[in-house]
Structure 1
Amino acid sequence: MQKVRTQLKEHLVPELRNLGFKGSFPHFRRIREQRIHLLTFQFDKYGTGRFVIELAVAPRGPFTTSWGKEIAEGKLTVHDLNERQRLGAIEGGDQWFSIEPHISETVDEILELLQTKGQKFLDSKN
């Protein structure tokens, strides 16, 4: 599992930063004028090295969760919101990613999905 995290930090996180995301692994946010785009990595609980990427959108400023907890926008994560989208998910299933066999192919796939379907989801919430 540590290998996966290390590879993602080395190869994917710099690309996320180029797209304007800030934060620390596994939680990232991109501040827009009126919204915050959130992105997080969630790993397979069985330690297979597979992971999903979830996206969410929140309004700027302090956010109050559905259970009444107020969270500053700089601390907000995807997990704090009820409405989220798994990057690359198809109807009726999930999109699990793996760094095997080649991390560069996985990074390319993730970036393509983020800039197309992911961006469409993020924009639809603005």
Structure 2
Amino acid sequence: MPRLESSIKGHLSPVLKSDGFFGSGRTFRRISEEHIHVVQVQGSRYGSKFAVNLGIQPRSIPDVVGNSPDATKIREELCEFRRRMSEATSDQWWEYEASNESMDAAVQAAASVYKAIGRRLFSELSGAESPLHKVTPGQFEAGQYSFSGFGSTKVRMARSLALMRQSIGDLVNANAFARIALASLGNASALRAELEELCRATES
């Protein structure tokens, strides 16, 4: 019986590993100085197609469930900044039939999109000039920034940016991002105590 993992091993894995990713099956990870990058193939619950999800997790802050990020185990859904890899739309899927040839063709097509688009997306958010490091609270609040499609909710992104600034001792901007997160919380109470404590801890 043909398996998608075999096609991934043959056609996507070598491309990712040439870029410094490690892993097997459907999940691959790369460690940079400040971030963990994740590429994860997501199969459809109905079968016969897959998508490719990308994740960026700052190493200085907890993952989505509050754990210290483990670069050898983290999955895309645990990263604070995530997006679907696509050429033109926000939701691209590659369809295949139950044959090695069809699966190979679909994975080769996805690998081509990674080479043309995925590499660039990771690059745009990497290094000292990454907007994750450069965006100011005012720019974030006004929506005057681009994370190349990576993100989550406004609350979680502001919280993540606050924690990142706190980790480097930038308490003024950490506090400002924490207050943006708190003001955007609405009726969601799960993070309220944490954000209030973060505001107190970063007051100058």
CA contact (8 A) 2:8 2:25 kept: no
Local SS of the residue matching 1:12: helix
Alignment of 1:1-126 (within 5 A): 2-48=2-48, 50-60=49-59, 64-88=62-86, 90=88, 93-98=90-95, 100=102, 103=105, 105-106=108-109, 107-116=111-120, 118-120=121-123, 122-123=125-126, 124=130, 125=132
Q: In the alignment, residue 112 of structure 1 is paired with which amino acid? A: A
1:58-117 CA distance string (max 9 Å, x none): 1226x63343344423221112124311011655x401123548627513233222223x
CA contact (8 A) 1:85 1:121 kept: no
User: Using a 3 Å threshold, how does the CA distance of structure 1 residues 64 and 7 change in structure 2: closer, same or farther?
Assistant: same
Structure whose alpha-carbon radius of gyration is higher:
2
Q: In the alignment, residue 5 of structure 2 is paired with which amino acid? A: R
TM-score (norm 1): 0.76
CA contact (8 A) 2:42 2:50 kept: yes
Distance 1:73 1:105 in 2: 26
Bigger RCO of structures 1 and 2 (CA < 8 A, at least 6 apart) = 1
Local SS of the residue matching 2:95: coil
CA contact (8 A) 2:63 2:78 kept: yes
TM-score (norm 2): 0.50
Distance 1:122 1:9 in 2: 27
Task: Flag the structure with higher helix content.
Answer: 2
- Cα RMSD (Å): 2.8
The percent of aligned pairs where both chains have the same amino acid is: 27
Cα offset, 1:35, TM superposition: 1.1
Aligned length: 122
Distance 2:119 2:24 in 1: 20
Distance 1:86 1:53 in 2: 6
Q: In the alignment, residue 72 of structure 2 is paired with which amino acid? A: G
